[in-house]
A = this chain, B = another copy of it.
């Protein structure tokens, strides 16, 4: 009985501290592909919302898009981690990200009693973007964020809705652009002065030795995070993720987390226990 009491005594101050605070969550493709993991995440999100936190979800959808492209006889091509996006690919993005993946998360949250609203960055003036120019390389309809107007998202969370956002933006000509989901999450966390940016990935967090899962860094001040990148200790796909976290923390988000979304209830454990389970990036 006193164990229960001590777990609760530990969790209550966190519940209070984050009451009414905004959590911007990015859910990666690996979590979305597993119905069981997606269900566990949805339950956590709804529970945290119940006790007063304000969750905003950004989702990717890479595997689904790749599948649909291949179905349409197109070969996915990436340049510096960005998917080359022609008009046909953009139509697939609209259909798969907005029409399918986004709504499946909305339905998942509804199942646990959450009132979710699925939108994209082109709705409600949310994300104004422009085409990326990378010298001569042709990326097509791939964009970078010019401006975020979070007023609709702020409204939604203030009235208890859980926004679920597909990472698209719109340029001045009214054209839809493909955006990187981690970047959208980081920029939104900045625009909303979020308490937390949480990236749910399929690795334990930032590791000093990528091979060893027990080399996890629990607390990572921004300065040290930059050194890890510069020294090459952190490599590959973790680099842009860590950069997104650094940018968020340096520009208005209180802290950022990179956690392993494949652990059941990873979100709950990260937010409500002292040690957490992943890497916490915080100001120096």
Contact = CB atoms under 8 A, between A and B. Distances in A.
Given A12-B48, A12-B50, A97-B99, 20 more contacts: A1-B263, A2-B265, A13-B47, A13-B50, A15-B15, A16-B47, A52-B52, A94-B99, A94-B100, A95-B96, A95-B99, A95-B100, A98-B103, A107-B174, A107-B175, A116-B123, A117-B119, A118-B119, A152-B159, A155-B159
Interface in A78-118: 91, 94-100, 103, 106-108, 110-111, 115-118
Most interface-central of A2, A8, A12, A263 (chain B CB within 10 A): A8
A203 interface: no
Contacts of A108: 174
21 contacts: A5-B264, A5-B268, A8-B268, A9-B265, A11-B11, A15-B50, A19-B51, A94-B99, A95-B100, A98-B103, A103-B120, A107-B174, A107-B175, A115-B125, A116-B124, A117-B152, A118-B120, A119-B119, A124-B161, A152-B156, A155-B159
A277 B5 CA distance: 12
Contact of A161 (B19, B152, B265): B152
A269 B1 contact: yes
Given A52-B52, A95-B96, A118 B111 contact: no
B2 A264 contact: yes
Contact of A94 (B51, B103, B159): B103
A272 B50 contact: no
Interface residues of A, number: 61
Contacts of A119: 117-119, 123
B110 A170 contact: yes
A128 to B, nearest CB: 10
Contact of A174 (B111, B268, B272): B111
A176 interface: yes
Contacts of A272: 8
Interface string A242-284: 0000000000000000000001110011001100010000000
Interface in A123-139: 123-125
Contact of A9 (B47, B94, B117): B47
A56 interface: no
A277 to B, nearest CB: 7
A174 B8 contact: no
Interface string A1-37: 1101101110111011001000000000000000000
Contacts of A4: 7, 269, 273
